[in-house]
Amino acid sequence: MADKDERTPNGQLDLLPTEGIDWSRTETIRRVWLEDVGGDQTARLEFLADQGLRLIMADLGPDGGETLHFFNPRDGETLHFRAGGGKSLLPEASRNFLSASRWIELLYGEGEGKLGVCLSEGLLPRAGLLLQVEGGRIRRVFEAWRGFPQAVLGGAKAGQAGALLEEGSGIDGMVLTLALVQAMEDARRMNVPVAALALRAVLLESWRVQSHLAWLAGAASGLGRKRVQERCDGLRRDLEAVLREWLDDPLGKGWMIPGGLRDDFPLERASGFRAQLATVVEAWQETSPRVASLPVPGWMERKLRRLGGEAEGSGWVGPLARAAGSGTDVRIEEPLVYGAAGWEGSPVPRDGNIMRRMLALRAGEVSSSLGVMQRILDDPPATPLVVKRGRGGRGEGFGRCEGPEGETCCHVALAKGRISFASFSLPREINRSAARILEGCRLDEVEILSMFWQEAAAGMDG
């Protein structure tokens, strides 16, 4: 506990400890795999639901059979469940896990027949959606497509897969890469050094800050506050510049590999980055109150009110879920180095309308992320940065991290050192079901309302 009245960049008391970090408190990740499980699947899924497990991802698996991925909060581990014979599990799971219905939509579509009825009437494409418009208002909303980042990975060498995802994908690609390398490490049972885990956390939090600043700038623009927009954009560019000076890239591309970070990671320049980061923190202290006081028009409050209380049943993740009154954070469920660094989570506002909560939540996460970056860089763990080999492993693994827009997961299978299967959960697709609030809206309301499930920084490529 802090021994003096130190405050975070958003004016809250800084509760991070002031003494050195005990890196031995770094926690390990636990995965449990159940494959070709016979018997009564309905009873087994009911039991998992009764035990409080949460469905976090579903995919068609390496052999085409559905694989369900759960988080078990009681034991702090993930459970990966696949029935034998390629049996479908999601219809049964939907009886006990509300989010299973969303995964049925994502894997199998919401019904081509329903969409086909409207195709002849003309649909307006917008950010992964098809909008049926009548008289200047949205009549119906359809989800148009799913992204398949794994398409570039088929047959790729494990050591080169991360670079393929990073290329041209901005922050989205960096988060996918982190989940991918975690999954490959699980598949090979690689014990990643603490120093690599800590520096990965610094990279992840820097992406979060950049993404949230881009989102806040977009919100300020949509709400008619140009000066706040300019301040947020300026801070993002400042952070990009100091990251480029440290890592030769504003996102730190190219450094993450299975087993940790590249041997030549410029750790000797980290102290210089830490000093420059303090300038960004100081500027954010001045900007944060302006973000919190952005005006929210009444029409937006009324439209967004429909999202309240729907997060858990819809499977939403990240800031959207937390602003809507639910949601979790992978950094709390699987702390790794975060617990050792004294990070206990960002404050989740409960008061105000959902837009005001979203503004406060993202601003709070900027402050929290800057704080944990400084904390780790003040007392980094000792090297090494990479482990070259694993301890066998089952050739199939799972990774998950809390990206800027929410929980991002990867399920991967390896064969002879190459990717034979990969699947991802993408927050923007999981959260896109919130787009139903657009029905009845005017066309000029679509852009700012869509920010709630879009990644404002998805196109940033440095």
pLDDT digit string (tens) for 262-316?
A: 999 999 999 999 999 999 999 999 999 999 889 999 999 888 988 887 877 888 9
Q: What is the 3-state secondary structure of 114-164?
A: HHHHHHCCCCEEECCEEEEEECCEEEEEEECCCCCHHHHCCCCEHHHHHHH
The number of CA neighbours under 13 Å toward the Cβ of 289 is 5
pLDDT at 350 over 90: no
Whether 167 is covered by a domain: the verdict is: yes
Q: Among candidates 386, 442, 395, 384, which has minimal Cα distance to 418?
A: 395
Residue 371's pLDDT is 96
207 to 85, 211, 240, 286, 333: CA distances (angstroms): 41, 6, 10, 21, 20
Whether 121 is covered by a domain: the verdict is: no
Whether 383 is covered by a domain: the verdict is: yes
CB 182 within 8 A of CB 410: yes
The number of CA neighbours under 13 Å toward the Cβ of 250 is 18
Distance between CA atoms of residues 454 and 412, nearest Å? 26
Residue 1's pLDDT is 33
Residues 442 and 313 in one domain: yes
Measured at the alpha carbon of residue 387, what is the angle toward residues 385 and 388, in degrees to the nearest 5?
130
CB 205 within 8 A of CB 373: yes
Residues 174 and 72 in one domain: no
Q: Among candidates 201, 161, 166, which has minimal Cα distance to 185?
A: 161
Whether 4 is covered by a domain: the verdict is: no
Q: How far apart are the first and last CA of the chain?
A: 37
Domain boundary among 77, 108, 139: 108
Residues 184 and 77 in one domain: no
Domain boundary among 72, 93, 108: 108
Distance between CA atoms of residues 58 and 251, nearest Å? 29
Whether 445 is covered by a domain: the verdict is: yes
Strands (E) in 185-259, as ranges, are 256-257
Residues 70 and 189 in one domain: no
Domain boundary among 76, 108, 140: 108
CATH number, domain of 266, equals 1.10.645.10
Within 324-425, where are the H helices?
A: 330-333, 337-340, 354-378
Task: Find tokens 């087994």 and name the residue.
Answer: 44
Q: How confident is the model at residue 402 (pLDDT cuts 50, 70, 90)?
A: very high
Per DSSP, the residues of 56-89 read EEEE--TTSS-EEEEEETTTTEEEEEEEGGG---
Whether 297 is covered by a domain: the verdict is: yes
Percent with pLDDT over 70 in the chain:
90
Distance between CA atoms of residues 462 and 443, nearest Å? 31
Residues 428 and 296 in one domain: yes
Residues 171 and 100 in one domain: no
Residues 164 and 100 in one domain: no
Question: 76 — alpha (psi -120 to 50), left (phi > 0) or beta?
Answer: left
pLDDT at 329 over 80: yes
373 to 47, 208, 271, 307, 448: CA distances (angstroms): 40, 11, 12, 32, 30
Question: 347 — alpha (psi -120 to 50), left (phi > 0) or beta?
Answer: beta
Distance between CA atoms of residues 441 and 137, nearest Å? 5
CB 15 within 8 A of CB 2: yes
Distance between CA atoms of residues 57 and 89, nearest Å? 12
Task: For 375-401, write each residue's pLDDT tens digit.
Answer: 999 999 998 999 999 888 899 999 999
Q: What is the C-alpha R_g of the chain?
A: 22
Residues 184 and 288 in one domain: yes
Residues 183 and 101 in one domain: no
Residues 354 and 414 in one domain: yes
Task: For 129-180, write each residue's pLDDT tens digit.
Answer: 899 999 889 999 998 777 788 988 989 999 999 999 998 678 889 999 999 9
Question: Helix, strand, or coil here: 399?
Answer: strand
Residues 204 and 93 in one domain: no
Taking each helix axis from N to C end, the angle separating 226-247 and 194-222, rounded to the nearest 10 degrees, works out to: 160
Whether 456 is covered by a domain: the verdict is: no
Q: Which of 121-135, 225-239, 337-351 has the highest mean pLDDT?
A: 225-239
Whether 144 is covered by a domain: the verdict is: no
CB 219 within 8 A of CB 409: no
pLDDT at 122 over 90: no
Q: Which domain range does residue 393 map to?
A: 153-450
Residues 81 and 215 in one domain: no
Question: Helix, strand, or coil here: 442?
Answer: strand
Taking each helix axis from N to C end, the angle separating 194-222 and 270-292, rounded to the nearest 10 degrees, works out to: 30
Report the domain count for the chain: 2
